[in-house]
Amino acid sequence: MGASLSKAGSSVSVRCTMAQRCMRMILGPSCDVQGASLSTRDELNGNSPGNLAARIVELFGELRMPLFRYLVVALGSAEAAEDATQECFLRLCRHLQQGGEVKNERLWLFHVAHNLLLDQKKSGRALHEVLPPDWDLVAATHSDLAPDQEQRLLAKEKYETLQNAFGELTEQQREVLRLREEGLGYREIAEVLGTNVPVVAAHIRRAVAKIKAKLNG
């Protein structure tokens, strides 16, 4: 119970910090966030700083973990992934505050995360990629395991083989699988990566074929 309360408190604290950073970005570093005055017109139109910050915090609660998982798998560092996740939301806040339009906030955020990931890799700041823990695309290759020692050893060997196979994929193949793992469809992945659906489908098909061949080898 204590651990659950601590985790919940930490999550609330992170959301509050995000709200404060967003409000300061909108109103300026010297503003009084709690006492900020809003124009009647902005309040009626839903364009007030408070409404924008509230929307960012709402999205943060919904999409923080999917973005974090996507980034931590690719970066191999929870700290770097958390920093990049918050940067995604701050960029969205800045974009909207400057009057930018966003048709699909989820895809917009994943697109920013993808670009941040590319920057990290180019600069050499990314550590090492890890295997997604719940990989639906290859779940069919795993049978139900009995809880005995032999089956546990076989499961460990299969996981290690799977991890090696994942590491042998091309960067494009790993990227589409990471996005697919977070529930994005082919068209959404194509939009995030700036490509088309046939290319995404080809990457996934080849990646799964390589992994199955490795597991069956």
The domain made up of 136-216 has a fold known as Arc Repressor Mutant, subunit A (1.10.10)
- What's the helix, strand, coil split of the chain in %, to 5? 75, 0, 25
Residue 37 reports pLDDT greater than 70: no
Q: With bands split at pLDDT 50, 70 and 90, how would you rate the model's confidence at 15?
A: low
Give the integer Cα–Cα distance in Å for 22 and 11. 17
Q: Who wins on pLDDT, 191 or 125?
A: 191
Residue 112 reports pLDDT greater than 90: yes
Residue 21 has which token pair? 């950073």
156-201 per-position pLDDT tens digit: 677 677 778 888 899 899 999 999 989 999 999 999 999 999 999 9
Residue 60 reports pLDDT greater than 80: yes
Helix, strand or coil, per DSSP, at residue 54? helix
One-letter amino acid of 2:
G
Start-end of CATH 1.10.10.10 domains in the chain: 136-216
Q: Who wins on pLDDT, 212 or 143?
A: 212
- CA 10 from chain centre, in angstroms, equals 19
Residue 196 has which token pair? 């088309």
Helices (H), ranges, 31-77: 40-45, 49-75
Residues 6+ apart with CB under 8 A from 121: 74
Residue 151 has which token pair? 């089956």
Over the chain, what is the mean pLDDT?
73
Q: Who wins on pLDDT, 66 or 161?
A: 66
Q: What is the DSSP letter of 144?
A: P
Q: What is the pLDDT of residue 191?
A: 95
Query: Measuring CA to CA, how many Å separate 216 from each of 141, 158, 194, 210, 213?
Result: 9, 10, 33, 10, 5
Q: With bands split at pLDDT 50, 70 and 90, how would you rate the model's confidence at 52?
A: confident
Q: What is the pLDDT of residue 48?
A: 57
16-26 per-position pLDDT tens digit: 565 566 656 55
Q: What's the pTM value of the predicted model, to 2 decimals?
A: 0.68
Residue 109 reports pLDDT greater than 70: yes
Q: What is Dmax (Cα atoms) for the chain? A: 69
